[in-house]
Every structure is written in structure tokens, then in C-alpha cells.
Amino acid sequence: MKDGRVDIGGKTYEMGRHGFAREMEFTTVGQGEDFVTLELREDETTLAQYPFPFSLR
């Protein structure tokens, strides 16, 4: 991304240098004795920076 911006479908989106996931709150979707699975899904905040639905685990 040049200057923190990218054009997708004629619209400009802005995102910080290291993305947005590290600043978001993940949801616990699985947990066991020796593991935990966290998930981040799109919302209004992420769609303003990345205009696609996603699931990050």
C-alpha cells in the first residue's frame, strides 16, 4: 500500500502500516486443555479499511 492507501473498485481505503487486526478484540471460538482458538470477523470498522468479509483465526 502506498502512503497507507489502496484503491479497490474505484474507492480509496486507508489502513495503517501493519493492518488493523492487532488492534482489534478477537472472540474465543474454541478452547481446550492446551489450546485456544481466537477469531476476528469483519465489522463496520474493518470494512471501512478492508471491504471484504473475512474470518481470521
List the chain pLDDT tens, one digit each, 57 residues.
678 888 889 999 988 888 889 889 999 999 999 999 999 999 999 999 999 999 999
pTM of the shown model:
0.78
Q: Which residues pair with 2 in a beta bridge?
A: 5
**DSSP run (H or E) holding 45:** helix 44-47
Res 19: pLDDT: 83
Task: Return d(Cα 6, Cα 22) in angstroms, integer.
Answer: 19
> CB-based contacts of 27: which residues, under 8 Å, 6+ apart?
38, 39, 40, 41
Task: Return d(Cα 31, Cα 34) in angstroms, integer.
Answer: 8
Res 31: pLDDT: 97
Task: Return d(Cα 23, Cα 41) in angstroms, integer.
Answer: 13
Residue-range domain boundaries for the chain: 5-56
